[in-house]
Amino acid sequence: MKIGFFETKNWEVEYLKAKLPSHQLVFNPGFIDKNNLPNERDFDIVSIFTDSKIDNSVIAALPNLKLIATRTTGIDHIDPKATKARNISVKNVPTYGENTVAEYTFALLLNLSRKISKAIDKVKEKGSFSSEGIEGFDLLGKTLGVVGTGHIGQHVIKIASGFEMKVIAFDAFPNNELSTKLNFQYVNLETLLRTSDIVTLHVPYLPTTHHLINNDNIGFFKKGAILINTARGSIVETEAIVKALADGTLGGVALDVLEEETALKNAKQLILERELDDKDLRTIIENHVLIDMENVIITPHNAFNSREALTRILNTTTENILSVQ
């Protein structure tokens, strides 16, 4: 079968060639969407990553397509109606980096709580060894609110216990056996926001989680609380956190994902192609404002990015591909 891989790195190319020696593989370091279609379009299978977007236009351009093997857990970048209409299978990577993302969540939290980036910049950029302005706070005894107690959320809770934090959680489907085992308490979302010193998000992007944190509930946050998002950008309404940071409701924010993230990455191209609407433009501006704000850490969708996690992603992807033969 002919397989098109998009958004691939050099080491991944060699790894996939070794895993799929009997197939015709075509590699493209760029993403695929309706405005970025490949010259070759006779693929039986395409494998995509976070920046690609598969809609009806893309599917129409790939007449032989039978399977989309996304190297992600989320599938919100693939149009389910379009794939169903063509009877195209979609396979994802359900688990690959629960510990990886959980570790990164705490890396972001410790960076904010101890002002590590500021301390490094102070020494490197200013040559100053003064501790003025970089006082932090301990995690010991703080209340951590975990939104979503799936695989990643569970690992976050386990790590939090090592810091002797109190953990409360919100989940649409509470698991009381799990809460007993890991020694945390389920509460409703409003209670979690009002009570937590730190709130960390670990839910998938669904219609029900769109803007889960928004202008209507941002005021519930405990004054000066920290918000961390390593899940999906659109779970948080960008305007809400900009305002909450400006008025002191939030004391800090660490984001590994942003609302309209792809538009931000490819803003120049989208502007030239006149693909941005007013909402896209507003969100891009808000994201730029966030980047420049005090007590904000933004990383480029990097929580998954360990060699071990990436290898697990490729192994599951090759299994998904081989399963359709």
Question: Which residues are part of the catalytic machinery?
Answer: 232, 261, 301
Phi, psi at 48, each rounded to 5° = -125, 170
Q: Which residue, 228, 222, 172, is CA-closest to 199?
A: 228
The residue behind tokens 């946050």 is: 221
Q: Which residue, 130, 158, 149, 252, is CA-closest to 202?
A: 149
Q: Using an 8 Å Cβ cutoff, are 65 and 45 in contact?
A: yes
Burial class (CB in 10 A: 0-12, 13-18, 19+), 181: exposed
Question: CA–CA separation, 71 vs 5, rounded Å?
Answer: 10
Which residues 6+ apart lie within 8 Å of 22 measured at CB? none
